[in-house]
Amino acid sequence: MIAAGIDMGTQSVKVAILKDGKILSKGKAFCGFKPKDAAEEAFEEALTNSKLSRDEIRHVTATGAGVDLVSHFDSTISMMGADAQAGVYFFPSARTVVDIGAEDARAVSCDERGTMLDFVVNSRCAAGAGTFIEAMARALEVKLEEMGPLSIKAEEATPINASCVIFAESDVVSLIHRQKSKEKIARAIYAALADRVSSMMHRLGIKPEVVLVGGVAEDVGFIAALERTLGMNILIPEDPVFAGAVGAALTASKRIEKVK
Amino acid sequence: MEKVQKLEYWRWPEYHRVVPGKDWKNAEIITAGVDVGSVSSKAVIMTDNEVYSWAVLRTGSNSSDSAKKVMGWALEGIGLKLDDFDYIVGTGYGRVNVPMANKAITEIACHAKGANYIWGPTVRTILDVGGQDVKAISCNERGRVTRFLMNDKCAAGTGRGMEVIADLLKIPIDKVGEASLMVDKEPGPVSSTCVVFAKSEAVALLRSGWPKKKVLAAYARAMAIRMSELLQKVGCKEDFVITGGQSKNIGIVTRIEEILGVKRLPVPKWEETGLDPMAAGAIGAALFASALYKKSSNR
């Protein structure tokens, strides 16, 4: 039984193909200005990797902020629902799944079957999502992937006005003029993002284990900052950016079972 | 090789002015107010509670240097020295770092005092749109603050928010107000509150074929809505005035007036009189300085 999930994010589209509940292959493409083409591209990549043809896929479930832009799918699932499914799939003990994407952040509580119980979302403020780190990497003139390693070199954070991405941008410029270390600035930025995510999680209530997924879950700087803020260990699956797609594919598998 | 200069559309003009026909040598009390804001620094020199000269410039990375620089500029060409001052009050975001100040007073109190001076005792509500914050202030007939609300956590509805769009659209910041009103029909506001997301939305609108002015109108509307919400929370009683940099942004002012159904008192002829709404905080600080000096010398 073969099922697929498509996660149409704000920055990239991810596809996961599952066979009998096991991940068979993945595909990813950047949305750019042609998100529909990107969805096709990611799907083709996943098919090629699994050496399958499109006809062999029984059910496709789509999710993500741009779900309306996906042209071929059989059903949809909410982003929160997909997160819950994926979190428990990766770690059966997961009860809270945190998903930090480019432009939004979510925390979802779930039961042992991966059913979503409750959730909180921030999609209104860039200071609570991955965009924040990107903007700060630009301001610091370092590559995005260097930000995390840079931040964990610092023993402490430099005080910075990090409530807003726009304010933080100008603050970073003056901190650089005052010759503050990039490491300490980077650490301050991760601390600020982790604080926002943690206060969002507290609104939901934090039940262990906590699983972190989404693009930002690949960032060592953020992981360290969130663990510090929460005072607990966080579980991170392999390829956390595909969690939404895997969650959607799991949903697709369940829907095939139901029809049987 | 030819040097390519990057135009900074967000950069507003800095200025220094002296009110004509005055001589500080005849003055009984000489005071100053120095308002070091997050984005602009203002210094106002007053003789016997009237503006003598003032200066406005962009705040640098160091508050104390910015205070010295703006005060130095206000002093330029008038023959006054720091020693001649009876009292100086510092205010604004960087008020504790004004080296020449005898005392620091919050910018909320100073703006209410300054607005009361510029427009008179009928002022009850002040909207101060600063570079990195926006404040709605209620005050009484003596210019005393009775209530206030402030947003300094988010760029939406602040001067920085307007600078971002000026830069994106490549329209000079002091022209965005007029340009935003040059649409036949006002479009709905951009849907994002966050300036970062609103900027992406503006890019998408441009790409979809919207003219710059229409995009600007949609953006300005969203900013005006944000400012109006703060005013509504504090209660917008007349007379209503706007201070800070955005008081000169006709696109924002017109939209706030329309949203709230309240007209602001017009900006006085500030170029000759020194009653500059951009410097309202510094004017208030200089007035506090004079009151504090009188109090201390009466003792």
> What are B178-202's pLDDT values in tens digits?
999 999 999 999 999 899 999 989 9
Q: Are residues B159 and B144 in the same domain?
A: yes
Q: Is the pLDDT of residue B205 over 80?
A: yes
Q: Are residues B151 and B190 in the same domain?
A: yes
Which CATH number is B240's domain given?
Answer: 3.30.420.40
Query: Counting beta carbons within 10 angstroms of the beta carbon of residue B288, is it exposed (0 to 12), middle (13 to 18) or buried (19 or more)?
Result: buried
B213 touches A: beta carbon within 8 Å: no
Distance of alpha carbon B194 from alpha carbon A164, whole angstroms: 9
Are the Cβ atoms of A125 and B194 closer than 8 angstroms?
yes
Give this prediction's pTM.
0.85
Q: Are residues B133 and B58 in the same domain?
A: no
| Chain A: closest CA distance from residue B251 (Å) | 22
Question: Torsion angle of alpha carbons A120, A125, A129, A135, nearest 10°?
Answer: 180
The predicted model gives A52-64 an average pLDDT of 93
Query: What is the model's pLDDT at position A32?
Result: 82
Are the Cβ atoms of B193 and A124 closer than 8 angstroms?
yes
Residue B28 lies in a domain: yes
Are the C-beta atoms of A79 and A64 separated by less than 8 Å?
Answer: yes
* Chain B contact set for A33 (CB, 8 A): 207
Residue B10 lies in a domain: no
Write the pLDDT tens digit of every residue in B83-139: 999 999 999 988 988 999 999 999 999 999 999 999 999 999 999 998 899 999 999
Query: What is the model's pLDDT at position A177?
Result: 83
Domain range list for chain A = 1-86+239-260, 92-236
Query: What is the model's pLDDT at position A205?
Result: 93
Q: Are residues B176 and B90 in the same domain?
A: no
Query: What is the model's pLDDT at position B2?
Result: 47
Q: Are residues B257 and B278 in the same domain?
A: no
Residue B276 lies in a domain: yes
Q: Are residues B164 and B93 in the same domain?
A: no
Residue B5 lies in a domain: no
pLDDT classification of B249: cutoffs 50, 70, 90: very high
Q: What is the DSSP letter of A241?
A: G
- Beta sheet of A2-8, edge-to-edge order: A22-30, A12-19, A2-8, A59-63, A75-76
Are the C-beta atoms of B36 and B90 separated by less than 8 Å?
Answer: yes
Q: Is the pLDDT of residue B3 over 80?
A: no
Q: What tokens were used for B128? A: 């101060």
Check: complex ipTM more than 0.95 = no
Q: What tokens were used for A196? A: 């926002």
% chain B with pLDDT above 90: 79
Q: Are residues B250 and B286 in the same domain?
A: no
Beta carbon pairs, A and B, within 8 Å: 49
Containing H/E element for B244? Answer: strand B240-244
Are the Cβ atoms of A125 and B154 closer than 8 angstroms?
yes
Q: Which residue in A124, A166, A171 has the most chain B C-beta atoms within 10 A of its own C-beta, making it the best mutation to test that interface? A: A166
Residue B255 lies in a domain: yes
Residue B189 lies in a domain: yes
Query: What is the model's pLDDT at position B63?
Result: 87
- Please tell me the class of the A1-86+239-260 domain: alpha beta
Are the Cβ atoms of A170 and B195 closer than 8 angstroms?
no
Chain A from 194 to 223: CB within 8 A of any B CB: none
Other Cβ atoms within 10 Å of A102 Cβ, number: 20
Query: What is the model's pLDDT at position A130?
Result: 93
Are the C-beta atoms of B273 and B51 separated by less than 8 Å?
Answer: yes
Are the C-beta atoms of B183 and B150 separated by less than 8 Å?
Answer: no
Most confident region among A121-125, A183-187, B20-24, B295-299 by mean pLDDT: A183-187
* Chain A contact set for B196 (CB, 8 A): 126, 131, 135, 165-166
Q: Are residues B194 and B164 in the same domain?
A: yes
Distance of alpha carbon B11 from alpha carbon B147, whole angstroms: 32
pLDDT classification of A175: cutoffs 50, 70, 90: confident
Amino acid letter at A106? R
Write the pLDDT tens digit of every residue in A15-26: 999 999 899 999
Q: Are residues B104 and B149 in the same domain?
A: no
Helix ranges (DSSP H) in A141-242: 144-151, 165-177, 182-204, 220-230
Query: What is the model's pLDDT at position A260?
Result: 67
Are the C-beta atoms of A181 and A151 separated by less than 8 Å?
Answer: no
Q: Is the pLDDT of residue B6 over 80?
A: no
Number of domains in chain B: 2
Query: What is the model's pLDDT at position B22?
Result: 86
Q: Is the pLDDT of residue A58 over 90?
A: yes
Can you tell me whether residue B134 is helix, strand or coil? strand
| Chain A: closest CA distance from residue B247 (Å) | 21
Q: Is the pLDDT of residue A69 over 90?
A: no
Are the C-beta atoms of B162 and B252 separated by less than 8 Å?
Answer: yes
Helix ranges (DSSP H) in chain A: 35-50, 79-90, 130-140, 144-151, 165-177, 182-204, 220-230, 243-259
Residues 6+ positions from B163 with CB-CB distance below 8 Å: B10, B173
Do the first three CATH levels of A1-86+239-260 and A92-236 match, i.e. the same topology?
yes
Nearest to B196 among A33, A131, A161 (CB): A131
Query: What is the model's pLDDT at position A213?
Result: 97
Domain spanning A92-236: which superfamily?
ATPase, nucleotide binding domain (3.30.420.40)
Residue B6 lies in a domain: no
Q: Is the pLDDT of residue A145 over 50?
A: yes
Write the pLDDT tens digit of every residue in B40-96: 999 999 999 999 999 999 988 888 999 999 999 999 989 999 999 999 999 998 898
Got the DSSP string for B103-117?
A: EE--HHHHHHHHHHH
Are the Cβ atoms of A126 and B155 closer than 8 angstroms?
no
B160 touches A: beta carbon within 8 Å: yes
Other Cβ atoms within 10 Å of A258 Cβ, number: 8
The predicted model gives A170-177 an average pLDDT of 86
Amino acid letter at A54? R
Residue in A137, A145, A122, A135 with CA at minimum distance from that of residue A197: A122
State which residues form the domain around B166: 124-264
Residue of B nearest to A135 (CA): B196
The predicted model gives A157-179 an average pLDDT of 87
Q: Are residues B158 and B236 in the same domain?
A: yes
Mean pLDDT taken over chain A: 93
The predicted model gives A125-139 an average pLDDT of 93
Q: Is the pLDDT of residue B30 over 50?
A: yes
Query: What is the model's pLDDT at position A33?
Result: 80
Residue B192 lies in a domain: yes
* Chain A contact set for B167 (CB, 8 A): none
Upper half-sphere CA count for residue B219 (Cβ side, 13 Å): 35
Query: What is the model's pLDDT at position B1?
Result: 43
| Chain B: closest CA distance from residue A125 (Å) | 5
Q: Are residues B177 and B281 in the same domain?
A: no
